[in-house]
């Protein structure tokens, strides 16, 4: 039978906030699910299977919460899968849902991801001491700061490039009604004036901790063909390498490079910089924009920061990056990867509202997790893949 | 659909694993077993998928360290489910169906002894209205067993017969924790544990891991003249709310079974951690009366969390490989009182 075509026909998001104390986890997920199904013009009866993704269960204190959520997600009597691949999980959840359609197993799959960080404490959840395993004392920022320092040293990037990314993403967020952080006055200078947290990462260069959920409906070719604006899936990829190994390069990880090479090949793309119209890249700390631009092959090694500095990645640049405001503006961890994938779909569907890139035809969604070791990506297009 | 078969299976089960909850020390020899069985190496594997739980390990990202067992570089095409690895096998089967890969290695692991398992599993319930009452997994199963006793669907003697059969079958299973000849009278003389369940009606708390290799078409024939071909693969979930569910029935299992052809199944490995559940699952499946159920001893002989379901698939596949049966059925479950159920039909010729 071969691989079947699949497309995103519905996207739903909650408003991302520090604390959503007005809803339960089920209520939070349903906000996103109901919006995605309304967008896709489908009801629960049309859904064949449900795929749930989220980051560590300790973040909410519920073991395998999809079991309790099955009623609220309309999964009763249906196949229900729960994906967990660290920070990349939102992307992986999309990819697993897509594979169910591409394999010809199902026609319409609902994928939903969430995090309700206010239920517990992520810093605590990440800091449980484990024998024989290197502790991540200061949370993710403390883990990644040395990689950023190494990047700056290797690439000889000017130290304000991180602030350019932060100011750009937060300004983009002001155009996104779902974004968590809103700050119309943010500038490169104000970012540089903010407190240093993990040198060289400043407070304003760091992602927030958010409550929120995101959902997508992925459909087969027949269903998608009657949708007014499907986002056709041109390729999906996942790659993994271990956390600690002497031969790893955590600044420019091999898993990311190989994932990028595989996704460009699958999507028939030979020059990503020219052929991709916009990209949502997982940037939880500002400097990861130039780092991932290189890892993804949009720029030569050591020159990603030049694209950022020249304004290429701005909303009106040649290669807009993180039009939604990115992880720097909204970060319900388990959903953060899916939000990137969903934003890529919204762009090629022409449904991104104020932060729409004019005539976006092909977009990349990217997520990473763990110690820069889990990568998930997809390329979506306004046209069917050739 | 592409023809996909189980071509390798390795497992370990023990009362207490003397090592890290990441289980890397246990997974490395399992993978070595599989390389020996298949004649393949790491680079022959197109996709890796695992099943495990952070809560069992008592930490976030427990599966991240387990990736160490695969080796360092080059990177691998990999995914993970926070479920029993039987569902990881399903994800891998779907991946092979897309045509992107031809082979997959699936593994599951869990160190149940690291905490008080029945209490840890209370955290799977509705966190707002049920978990605060701390109903544990054994007590919920006991309520389910009670329903059958009161309605006359089974007797305490029926439950003891399930246990005696499991112990006797497990004599031939090197990995079983509990095995041996026992009598129904002796079992019924044991004290209650969680009334009406006695300790032997409940699967023993087990540490362990298991791994399976899947391969498509000619890649499978490369390994074996008689691989265990997957003839059907279905899974469903029920809702969880214990007040809304009829705990005496398993509609998700009946629905999965209805989507499959179960005629001629000669061997069934059922993931039933409580004795009465074996009777329930048999009934929902409507298996032929001469079908052999749990020839390995089943979960009552040993039940490592997050690989217990995968082991059922491996045990069923083994009995197709060795010609014991032409068609075998494997079942896996997850969640309180059989909430989620998966069925995999394996056959010798395809």
Task: Grade residue A1 by pLDDT with cuts at 50, 70 and 90.
Answer: low
What pLDDT shows up at residue A121? 79
What pLDDT shows up at residue A134? 67
SS3 A111: strand
User: What single DSSP character describes residue B200?
Assistant: G
Share of chain A above pLDDT 70, in %: 98
Instruction: Look at the block and give the residue holding tokens 């499907």.
Output: A230
* Parallel/antiparallel/unpaired status of strands A49-53 and A80-83: parallel
Which residues 227-256 of B have a C-beta within 8 angstroms of A? 234-241, 244, 251-252, 255
What CA–CA distances, in Å, run from A340 to A9, A216, A334, A337, A364?
16, 12, 12, 5, 8
Q: How far apart are CA A266 and CA A98, in angstroms?
A: 14
- Examine residue A173 and say whether the peptide bond preceding it is cis (omega within 30 degrees of 0): no
* Helix (H) / strand (E) containing B222: helix B217-223
Q: Which residues of B touch A92 (CB under 8 A)?
A: 79
Please answer whether residues A111 and A216 qualify as being in contact, where contact means their C-beta atoms are separated by less than 8 angstroms.
yes
Interval A61-90: pLDDT, tens: 999 999 999 999 999 999 999 999 999 999
Q: How far apart are CA A370 and CA A85, in angstroms?
A: 8
Nearest-Cα residue of chain B relative to residue A245: B72
Q: Which residues of A touch B255 (CB under 8 A)?
A: 77
What pLDDT shows up at residue B321? 98
What CA–CA distances, in Å, run from A184 to A167, A172, A190, A357?
10, 10, 12, 20
Which residues 73-102 of B have a C-beta within 8 angstroms of A? 73-83, 87, 90-91, 94-95, 97-100
Q: Which of B49, B51, B64 to mutate to test the interface with A (most CBs of A within 10 A)?
A: B64
Please answer whether residues A44 and A74 qualify as being in contact, where contact means their C-beta atoms are separated by less than 8 angstroms.
yes
What pLDDT shows up at residue A135? 67
Please answer whether residues B216 and B222 qualify as being in contact, where contact means their C-beta atoms are separated by less than 8 angstroms.
no
What pLDDT shows up at residue A127? 73
Number of CB atoms found within 10 A of residue A251's CB: 21
What pLDDT shows up at residue A129? 73
Please answer whether residues B38 and B7 qualify as being in contact, where contact means their C-beta atoms are separated by less than 8 angstroms.
yes
Interval B167-200: pLDDT, tens: 999 999 999 999 999 999 999 999 999 999 999 9
Instruction: Look at the block and give the residue holding tokens 């967008």.
Output: A39
Closest CA to A123 of A42, A67, A56: A56
Q: How far apart are CA A32 and CA A276, in angstroms?
A: 27
10 Å CB burial of residue B278 (0-12, 13-18, 19+) is: buried
ipTM for the assembly = 0.98
Closest CA to A383 of A351, A349, A353: A349
- Examine residue A251 and say whether the peptide bond preceding it is cis (omega within 30 degrees of 0): no
Interval A254-305: pLDDT, tens: 999 999 999 999 999 999 999 999 999 999 999 999 999 999 999 999 999 9
Closest CA to B341 of B274, B272, B275: B272
**Which residues lie below 8 Å from residue B98, measured CB to CB, with a gap of 6+?**
A3, A99, A102, A103
Q: How far apart are CA A10 and CA A224, in angstroms?
A: 10
Is 70 exceeded by the pLDDT of residue A348? yes
- Which of B73, B77, B240 shows the shortest C-beta gap to A67? B240
Q: How far apart are CA A182 and CA B349, in angstroms?
A: 62
Q: Does B64 contact A370 at a Cβ distance shorter than 8 Å?
A: yes
Is 70 exceeded by the pLDDT of residue A343? yes
What pLDDT shows up at residue B259? 98
- Give the least confident one: A16-20, A121-125, A238-242: A121-125
Strand ranges inside B165-269, DSSP E: 192-194, 197-198, 205-216, 228-237, 267-269
**Which residues lie below 8 Å from residue B283, measured CB to CB, with a gap of 6+?**
none
What pLDDT shows up at residue A140? 84
Instruction: Look at the block and give the residue holding tokens 């763990």.
Output: A370
- Which of B127, B236, B237 shows the shortest C-beta gap to A62? B127
- Examine residue A200 and say whether the peptide bond preceding it is cis (omega within 30 degrees of 0): yes
- Which of B64, B87, B98 shows the shortest C-beta gap to A103? B98
Q: Does B309 touch chain A (CB under 8 A)?
A: no
- Which of B79, B236, B237 shows the shortest C-beta gap to A83? B79
* Parallel/antiparallel/unpaired status of strands B192-194 and B197-198: antiparallel
Please answer whether residues B292 and B268 qualify as being in contact, where contact means their C-beta atoms are separated by less than 8 angstroms.
yes
Q: How far apart are CA B257 and CA B279, in angstroms?
A: 16
What pLDDT shows up at residue A136? 63
Which tokens hold the place of B259? 């989507």
What pLDDT shows up at residue A75? 98
10 Å CB burial of residue A156 (0-12, 13-18, 19+) is: exposed
What sign does the CA torsion over A250, A253, A256, A257 have? positive
What sign does the CA torsion over A237, A242, A243, A249 have? negative
What sign does the CA torsion over A384, B3, B7, B13 have? positive
Task: Grade residue A138 by pLDDT with cuts at 50, 70 and 90.
Answer: low
Sites in chain B below the pLDDT cut of 50: none
Q: Does A128 contact B60 at a Cβ distance shorter than 8 Å?
A: yes
What pLDDT shows up at residue A128? 73
Closest CA to A294 of A249, A333, A233, A358: A249
Nearest-Cα residue of chain B relative to residue A130: B59
Angle between helices A288-295 and A139-155 (to 10 degrees): 60
Torsion of Cα atoms, A74 then A77 then A79 then A84, to 10°: 50
- How would you write A15-32 as a 3-class SS string? CCECCCCCCCHHHHHHHH
Give the side-chain half-sphere CA count within 13 A for A348: 31
- Region of B87 (left: φ > 0; alpha: ψ -120 to 50; beta: rest) is alpha
DSSP line for A325-369? --TTT---HHHHHHHHHHHHHHHHTT--GGGPPTT--EEEEEEEE
Which tokens hold the place of A267? 């999507």
Is 90 exceeded by the pLDDT of residue A123? no
Which tokens hold the place of B80? 């993970």
> What is the overall mean pLDDT for chain A?
96
Is 80 exceeded by the pLDDT of residue A131? no
């Amino acid at each position: 039978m071969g691989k079947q075509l699949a497309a995103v026909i519905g996207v739903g998001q909650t408003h991302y906030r520090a604390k959503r104390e007005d809803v339960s986890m089920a209520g939070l997920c349903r906000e996103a699910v109901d919006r995605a199904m309304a967008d896709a013009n489908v009801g629960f009866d049309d859904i064949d299977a449900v795929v749930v993704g989220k980051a560590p269960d300790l973040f909410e204190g519920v073991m395998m919460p999809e079991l309790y959520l099955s009623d609220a997600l309309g999964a009763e009597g249906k196949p229900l899968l729960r994906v967990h691949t660290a920070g990349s999980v939102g992307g992986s959840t999309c990819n697993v849902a897509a594979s169910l359609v591409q394999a010809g197993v199902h026609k319409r799959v609902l994928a939903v991801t969430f995090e309700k960080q206010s239920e517990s404490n992520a810093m605590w959840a990440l800091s449980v001491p484990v024998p024989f395993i290197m502790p991540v004392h200061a949370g993710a920022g403390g883990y990644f700061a040395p990689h950023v320092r190494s990047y700056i040293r290797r690439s000889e990037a000017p130290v304000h490039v991180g602030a350019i990314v932060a100011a750009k993403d937060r300004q983009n967020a002001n155009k996104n009604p779902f974004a968590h952080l809103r700050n119309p006055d943010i500038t490169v200078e104000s970012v540089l004036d903010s407190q240093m947290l993990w040198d060289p990462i400043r407070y304003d260069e760091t992602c927030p901790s958010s409550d929120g959920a995101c959902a997508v409906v992925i459909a087969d070719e027949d269903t998608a063909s009657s949708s007014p604006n499907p986002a056709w899936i041109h390729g999906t990829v996942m790659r993994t390498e271990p956390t600690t190994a002497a031969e790893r390069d955590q600044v420019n990880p091999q898993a990311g490079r190989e994932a990028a090479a595989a996704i460009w090949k699958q999507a028939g793309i030979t020059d990503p910089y020219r052929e991709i119209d916009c990209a949502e890249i997982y940037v939880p700390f500002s400097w990861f924009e130039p780092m991932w631009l290189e890892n993804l092959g949009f720029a030569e090694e050591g020159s990603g920061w030049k694209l950022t500095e020249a304004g290429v990645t701005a909303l009106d640049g040649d290669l807009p990056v993180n039009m939604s405001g990115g992880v720097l503006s909204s970060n319900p961890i388990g959903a953060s990867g899916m939000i990137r994938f969903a934003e890529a779909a919204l762009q090629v569907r022409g449904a991104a509202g104020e932060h729409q890139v004019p005539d976006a035809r092909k977009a990349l969604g990217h997520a990473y997790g763990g110690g820069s070791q889990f990568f998930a990506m997809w390329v979506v297009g306004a046209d069917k893949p050739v | 659909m592409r023809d996909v078969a189980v071509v390798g299976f390795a497992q370990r089960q023990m009362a207490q694993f003397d090592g890290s909850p990441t289980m890397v020390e246990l997974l490395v020899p399992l993978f070595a077993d599989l390389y020996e069985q298949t004649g393949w190496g790491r680079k022959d594997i197109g996709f890796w998928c695992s099943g495990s739980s952070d809560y069992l390990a008592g930490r976030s990202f427990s599966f991240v360290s387990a990736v160490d067992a695969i080796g360092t570089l080059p990177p691998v095409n990999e995914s993970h489910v926070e479920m029993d690895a039987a569902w990881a096998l399903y994800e891998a089967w779907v991946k092979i169906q897309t045509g992107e890969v031809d082979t997959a290695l699936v593994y599951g692991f869990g160190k149940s002894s690291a905490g008080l398992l029945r209490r840890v599993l209370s955290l799977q319930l509705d966190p707002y209205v049920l978990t605060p009452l701390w109903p544990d997994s054994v007590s919920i199963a006991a309520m389910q067993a009670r329903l059958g006793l009161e309605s006359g669907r089974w007797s305490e003697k029926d439950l003891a017969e399930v246990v005696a059969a499991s112990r006797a079958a497990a004599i031939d299973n090197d990995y079983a924790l509990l095995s041996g000849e026992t009598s129904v009278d002796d079992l019924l003389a044991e004290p209650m544990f969680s009334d009406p369940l006695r300790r032997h009606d409940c699967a023993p708390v087990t540490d362990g891991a298991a791994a399976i290799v899947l391969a498509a078409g000619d890649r499978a024939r490369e390994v074996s003249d008689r691989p265990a071909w997957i003839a059907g693969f279905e899974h469903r979930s029920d809702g969880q709310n214990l007040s809304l569910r009829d705990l005496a029935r398993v509609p998700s299992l009946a629905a999965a079974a209805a989507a499959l052809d179960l005629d001629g199944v000669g061997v069934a490995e059922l993931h039933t951690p409580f004795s009465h559940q074996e009777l329930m699952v048999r009934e929902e499946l409507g298996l032929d009366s001469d079908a052999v159920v749990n020839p390995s001893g089943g979960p009552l002989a040993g039940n490592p969390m997050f690989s217990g379901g995968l082991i059922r698939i491996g045990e069923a596949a083994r009995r197709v490989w060795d010609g014991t049966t032409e068609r075998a059925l494997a079942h896996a479950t997850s969640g309180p009182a059989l909430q989620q159920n998966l069925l995999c039909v394996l056959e010798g010729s395809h």
